[in-house]
Amino acid sequence: MAIKWRKELEIGIDVIDNQHKELVDAINKLLEASAAGRAKEEIGSTLNFLSDYVITHFNFEQEYQKRHNYPKYAEHLKLHQFFLQEVQEMKRQFEQDGASLPFIIQFNKRIVDWFVNHISKADKDYAEYVHSLKGAK
């Protein structure tokens, strides 16, 4: 089941929303491949994309938060560090064991759960903070 981009996922910071849409596209590509029985062919490129994406995207978010003196920066940073470790562990597991069906199911679940929960809670929190500052966006 694909993730449908919807208004509730937007945090109202265009550059970050656009980055999140890139992740949705990559997740959906893997989910569609899974539904078509082609997940084993797609999982490697999705993992490579995700490995690069989390570093680039998290660095951007962190700089954005620092620039606006986000008071929960350290807490948000820990969430990013935890997920980065998760991605590295999934990549290591993939390189060691390959694309088994249980791995693909677990990967899909972890990525979708992270994406929806992180955006709807942590990212929205800092976006609300930034929007509360005069003239910030």
| Overall domain count for the chain | 1
Q: Which CATH number covers residue 106?
A: 1.20.120.50
pLDDT tens sequence across 78-110:
999 999 999 999 989 988 888 888 888 888 888
- Give CA 122 to chain center in angstroms: 12
According to the model, what pLDDT value does residue 43 have? Answer: 86
According to the model, what pLDDT value does residue 1 have? Answer: 62
Residue 58 has pLDDT above 80, yes or no: yes
Instruction: Rounding to the nearest 10 degrees, give the CA dihedral for residues 118, 113, 35, 101.
Output: 130
Residue 23 lies in a domain: yes
pLDDT tens sequence across 10-23:
999 999 999 999 99
What pTM, to 2 d.p., does this model score? 0.85
- Residue 47: which H helix or E strand, with range? helix 39-67
Residue 6 lies in a domain: no
Mean pLDDT over the full length of the chain: 89
Pick 135 or 23 by higher pLDDT: 23
Distance from C-alpha of 3 to C-alpha of 25, rounded to nearest angstrom: 9
The percent of residues above 70 in pLDDT, for the chain, comes to 96
* Domain with 117 in it: 12-32+41-132
Residue 52 lies in a domain: yes
Six token digits for residue 48:
């490579």
Six token digits for residue 70:
């986000």
